[in-house]
Amino acid sequence: MVFNLYVLDGYSHKEIANMLAISVGTSKSNLSRAKAILKKELENGAQQNQNNF
């Protein structure tokens, strides 16, 4: 949810924290975790594509 609100919708961490009733630090942490998961998934997908060729 934080990833979508921050990256796609352009809200600040303060706005997200207020909307979701979490701290700004939690918002930042959740964004960082979501980015790491996305990066890992993209790397895994790229590796699978290379193995198919």
- Please give the tally of structural domains in the chain: 1
Range of the structural domain that residue 29 is part of: 2-51
Alpha-carbon distance of 23 to 14, in angstroms, equals 8
N-terminal to C-terminal alpha carbon distance within the chain: 35
Beta strands (DSSP E) in the chain are none
Alpha-carbon distance of 53 to 50, in angstroms, equals 6
Please give the residue that has the higher pLDDT: either 45 or 2.
2
Q: What is the pTM of this model?
A: 0.83
- pLDDT at residue 51 is higher than 80: no
* Mean of pLDDT values over 27-50: 91
